[in-house]
Structure 1
Amino acid sequence: MTETATTEAAILIVDDEISLRNTFSIFLKRAGYATVIAVGSFEEAVKEVSSRMFDLIICDIVLETHSGIELLRRFRQLGVTCPVVIVTGYPEVETASEAVRLGAFDYLPKPVEKEALLKTTRLAIRQYRLEQGKREAELARERYRHFLEALFKSVSDSIISVDHDMRILKMNHAASVLFCALQPELREGDNLHSINQKEELTQLTDNVAKVLKTGIELTDHRVELFLGGTCKVLSICISPLDNGTGQSAGAVLVLRDMTPKKQKASQKRNHFHKMLGASPAMQKVYLLLENIGRVDTSVLITGPSGTGKELAVHALHQESPRRNRPLVMVDCTAMTDTLLESELFGHKKGAFTGAEENRMGRILQADGGTLFLDEIGDISMTMQLRLLRFLQEKTFYPVGSDKELQVDVRVIAATNVNLKDKVKAGSFREDLYFRLLIIDIHLPPLREREGDIPLLTEYFIGLFAKKLHKKITGISEQALVHLCRYEWPGNVRQLEHAIERACILCQGTTISSADLPDEMLGRSKIDRPQTIPEIGVTAEKSGNHPRLFTPTDEDKQTTEKILAALKKAGGNKAKASRILNIDRSTLYRKMRELHIDADMFG
């Protein structure tokens, strides 16, 4: 203990002789003790120790009204723990033994010499400070022990300590719960080998033995373990147990349950952004879109035509941090290679015939936002290579330019074909396929969306009744049964078109079976009632009623050609227009006029 710490102590002098009080005070202050308080009576001494703490009390054995022994006894009643030095001119055995019993530190016989006073003061204060430090250390250790015990009991990780014979020294509550399915009666004192009932646990005990033998810690060893009928993933750390002297007393096992927590069942949703449906299949899709939308990586959306891939793209974009940036959509099948390359990457003026000015490509337009590449499975091998380089580097060259541009774009691709089959057939690059397949979302066909058809039907009836200015309020039970039994090769888009057609044909407030297409009623054209038009109805009206028409031979020939092209293109209108060598807008117009539904081709 330093001299400074000693001289900073507070000292109380109790003596009824003023000359002795002053002499002691002068000696002690000159020795460097800054706080020295001197009083002359029993009452004053009690008052002082009741108001502040002292490191030493020097008290005369004889006071005017009381003895020093009485004062010492009173100090102990008040809880005073500092040393007390008794000053006396007549030491007696009985007085000495009583003083010692009450905790007096020492005697100073009168006359008190200066050096004896200062030496006794130093020793008393030093010992008091040492005892204080010891008590504080013990209290700290006790608090730390209680803290460790509370931590050991409450921590969620399972903790087991074993000795060199693998006897369990200590285990917390979490460990008892973890292993209760294997060994309900496992307790402290049992051997760790008693849980050795599974191959995974055999490996665990082998690892403990290895750590006990080598003293080398094993960290983050992860195993799958079936406990209580469920598969748990445990991260296991095994460390040597130090007994505090550097010697090994055994090993400590810490087992952390890494099993993914089951998400609380989210409230059933009947829509998500622009997507509609309450079926279990769509609930999974909503959850995927919600989680994947937040992750800024490429996404591949698969599923048959008409399942709502564009709506899924909108949902992903809205769920992403890029929601306030552009969403640029590109139909990869609507353009030739040259046009698609220019459309995506842009071009420099004069790059090719017809390039009369610089053009910003769709990729650059989407900078900071999202780029959607629809029907990516139909692009050529040349374009696949260019896209692959762009996806890998996020850089590109506009057509006719030697200046490289860099963009920050999230790419979402979609296809209704099986890209894996195309890879096997050699018509789609495998490296591009895996680059796109970082995360994939499959949209289920309508026939797998149990219970969604009534919901979608109600929505489309409301939509088209308002659009056509009709007071249609619902659909008959029989008609709805037909819709629910139909296979829907064209999925939601086909249902939308069927309800639009039914709303056009409906003469009252309720859609009936007669307003539905024949294929949805399970009838052939031969069985079709004469009141139903062969092709459909035109958009022309006579008064408030749709006008039926009889198709001409030319209409029939055109219908057959369009149907054949659509069948060959699998319902893809962009492909069908190229097969027919006509503009896509012309194909759309002819299909509306002849009431041809491409969705039936899937």
Structure 2
Amino acid sequence: MVEPEKISSRILVVDDEESLRLTFKMFLSREGYGPVKTAGTFEEAMELINNEEFDLIISDIVMDGESGIELLRRVRELCKECPVVMVTGYPNIGTAAEAVRLGAFDYLAKPVKKDDLLRTARMALQQFALWREKVRADRQMERYRQDLETVFRSVRDMIITVDPELKVSQINERARQWATALELDLEVGSSLKELPAPFRVFVDDASRVLESRREVEEHQVELELDKLGRVVFRISGVPLEGRSEQFIGAMLLFRDVTCSEYQEQRTRRTRFHRLAGGSPAMQAVYTMIENVGPVDVTVLITGESGTGKELVVEALHAESPRRGMTLVKVDCTSIPENLLESELFGHKRGSFTGADRHREGRILQADGGTLFLDEVGDISLANQVRLLRFLQERTFYPVGGDQPVSVDVRVVAATNADLRRKVQQGEFREDLYYRLRVVDIHLPPLRERENDLELLARLFMERFSKQLDKSITAISDQALQLLMAYRWPGNVRELEHVIERACVLCAGSTITSAELSVEVLGDSGTPSLADGGESGSASFLVERVGGVDGEGEEERIVRVLRQTDGNKAKAARLLGIDRSTLYRKMKQYQIVDA
């Protein structure tokens, strides 16, 4: 196995003795380093250094014309950080001291032994690799900090973060202006404990977060202030975690909600772009989208399957300055792993078997707009490396290409996986996780969205009623009760399919329990196929799924398949069974082509 520092180790050997240049090149190349280039004069060496990047330079000190010391000085003037090893047949203290002063990595005396050369090269390249990794990490953390500061400044709420000693570590501009207007001492380094008595709630909430390391839910408090009289504040607190889940303090979010204009603005919304729901959980999602949409940072959307993550992406794009440009969506699970790299980055003609033409990747298609990476948690470690490099540099190389391509793209990713657990298990890169999660928006499951189910069910009923050209105007109390009692493991997407199926089967103006799927009925106490009710289930399907009189299970399946033109996914939804159950039934009844 090739050692890491030998992979693409670009080395320049400078010496006016051709035999020595070729010997050094042979030793280094056979050891696995490369590419190794050589120069016989100071001018040749400088031309190469000006036009190329090297990981190590090995130079003779004594050459015709300019010396190796001058070469070292010019390398440093060009801000080249690669290590330089000096070689000479006439060592002296003055020359060595000058080389060290200019930052030479080491000093080798002729005749140079092979083992000494290789050991010095290995140590120099290892040190340079460590230095580059540190620089890369520092740049990544600086970008991460800048992204957070951008979000911090743009959020409409007032924000104060405190350390475990209740000292202010950050305060956004809105909070600073508010504190200045009230003549409060709220600056970085000040203590919340020094706030006047009316603001004791700030100290109490922050202390509760610090002690329990849990969120303090949003609540509203009345404060009697000398300058403003009685005001109402909405306030909440959340714990702050650094990398590796290290607890670092608490964040307080608050706003004066006394103003009637603000109360009008905050009237509970039931629709936001294509999202629907009036629950507190969805109000928080709408607010996050409004705050983060205009800020050009990477966003990670999390939540169970079917919660509407794609709709959040569309809303973020619509709220951003890029709304007039393209939103490109990539489902990372639908593209074979060996093709995902080409799909994202594009490829050049002839770069692999079957690449008979140049192809523009999805990233380039999204230039100027937004790139949505759905189910990003499922991509391989190899593609994670390429994606991380793109997110850091905003440049990429198409497959088979040797010239970098720069793009201006906002990246939004989504996953239903627990990325923290994947990071702990070594299945997802930690640096990519933090690069994607500059801001995260979590979509709650349907079971946690208080009172949203009825609203969504009626919206879907109206939509499918129009599509099917029917006059369905209501849902019976019994059907609604069954819907409310169901667990909804498939979330909003499953509800949509259930209502679509009910509308197709509905013969009147009201959806009844008879039109609901087997899963919904079974979860409420009625035997279902999923719970082992497949034996003798023909009569159950006829009874509960609106079958024709005297129609058996086989005939019912054949009829629905014909109605859907053989679309098995849609047929399974109409039958109220899983697609796997439908395939099993088709095999049982030898239904080949309906």
The TM-score with structure 1 as length reference comes to 0.50
1:222 to 190, 197, 203: 190
What letter corresponds to residue 362 of structure 1 in structure 2?
Answer: R
- Which whole-Å CA distance do the structure 1 matches of 2:271 and 2:292 have between them? 17
How much does 1:597 deviate?
4.7
**Mapped pair 1:551 → 2:554:** yes
How far is 1:588 from its partner?
4.3
The aligned residue for residue 465 of structure 2 is: 465
**Distance in 1, Cα, partners of 2:288 & 2:327:** 20
Alpha-carbon displacement from aligned partner over 1:94-137 (angstroms, at most 9, x marks no partner) = xxxxxxxxxxxxxxxxxxxxxxxxxxxxxxxxxxxxxxxxxxxx
1:510 aligns with 2:510: yes
Q: Taking structure 1 as reference, are residues 430 and 338 closer, same or farther at Cα in structure 2, changes over 3 Å only?
A: same
Residue identity in the other structure for 1:421: R
2:375 matched residue in structure 1:
375
- CA distance in 1 between counterparts of 2:580 and 2:392 reads 35
Structure 1 residue 231 displacement after superposition: 1.7
Q: Secondary structure at the match of 1:530?
A: helix
Provide the residue aligned with 1:524 in structure 2. Answer: 527
RMSD: 3.6
Q: TM-score if structure 2 supplies the norm length?
A: 0.51
Q: CA deviation at 1:230?
A: 2.0
Where does residue 428 of structure 1 map in the other structure? Answer: 428
Structure 1 pair 474/313, CA: closer, same or farther in 2 (3 Å)?
same
1:488 aligns with 2:491: no
Q: Matched residue of 2:355: which SS?
A: coil
Cα pair distance change 1:537/1:305, threshold 3 Å: farther
Q: What amino acid sits opposite 1:319 in the alignment?
A: E
Deviation of the 1:489 alpha carbon: 0.5
Amino acid aligned to 1:477: D
- Equivalent position SS for 2:286: helix
Residue 275 (1) aligns with residue 265 (2):
no
**Ranges in structure 2 where 5+ consecutive residues have no aligned partner:** 1-178, 205-251, 582-594
Cα 1:410/1:377, change in 2 over 3 Å: same
Look up the match of 1:418.
418
**1:353-364 correspondence runs (5 A):** 353-364=353-364
Q: 1:412 to 1:537 in 2, by over 3 A?
A: farther
After superposition, the Cα gap between the structure-2 partners of 1:432 and 1:489, relative to the gap in structure 1 and judged at 3 Å, is same
Count of aligned positions: 332
1:335 Cα offset (Å): 1.0
* Distance in 1 of aligned mates of 2:297 and 2:412: 9
User: Secondary structure of the equivalent of 1:324?
Assistant: coil
CA deviation vs aligned residue, 1:520-556 (integer Å, no higher than 9, x gap): 1221134979364389679xxxxxx99966238999x
Separation of aligned partners in 1, 2:304 and 2:571: 24
Q: Deviations over 1:303-347 (max 9, x none)?
A: 000000000000000001110111000000001122111110001
Partner AA of 1:496 in structure 2: E
With over 3 angstroms needed to count, the CA separation of the structure-2 counterparts of 1:369 and 1:516, relative to structure 1, is same
1-side partners of 2:281 and 2:332: how far apart?
28
Q: Are the aligned partners of 2:538 and 2:552 in contact in 1 as well (CA < 8 Å)?
A: no
Corresponding residue of 1:533? 542
C-alpha spacing 1:400/1:176, structure 2 compared with 1 (3 Å): closer
Aligned to 1:455: 455
CA displacement 1:162-182 (0-9 Å, x = unmatched): xxxxxxxxxxxx999879xxx
Residue identity in the other structure for 2:202: C
1:516 CA displacement: 0.8
Task: Classify the secondary structure of the residue corresponding to 1:495.
Answer: helix
Residues 228-281 of structure 1: CA distance to partner in whole angstroms, max 9, x if unpaired?
Answer: 232269xxxxxxxxxxxxxxxxxxxxxxxx985445451110010000111111
* Structure 1 residues 504 and 295: CA distance shift in structure 2, 3 A: same
Q: 1:532 to 1:357 in 2, by over 3 A?
A: same
Give 1 or 2 for the bigger CA radius of gyration.
Answer: 1
For 2:557 and 2:253, locate their aligned partners in 1 and report how far apart those are by CA, in whole Å. 67
Matched letter for residue 460 of structure 1: F
Q: Which letter does structure 2 place at the counterpart of 1:550?
A: E
Q: After superposition, where does 1:340-351 map in structure 2 within 5 Å?
A: 340-351=340-351
Rounded Cα–Cα distance in structure 2 between residues aligned with 1:443 and 1:271: 15
User: Structure 2 matches for 1:69-148, cutoff 5 A?
Assistant: none
In 2, distance between residues paired with 1:435 and 1:176? Answer: 37
Q: How does 1:157-556 map to 2 (within 5 A)?
A: 221-225=189-193, 227-228=197-198, 229-231=200-202, 261-262=255-256, 264-265=262-263, 266-521=266-521, 522=524, 523-525=526-528, 526=533, 530=539, 532-533=541-542, 550-551=553-554
Structure 1: distance between partners of 2:401 and 2:415: 30
Give the share of equivalent positions with the same residue, in percent: 52
CA separation of 1:359 and 1:588: change in aligned 2, threshold 3 A? farther
Distance 1:389 1:330 in 2: 18
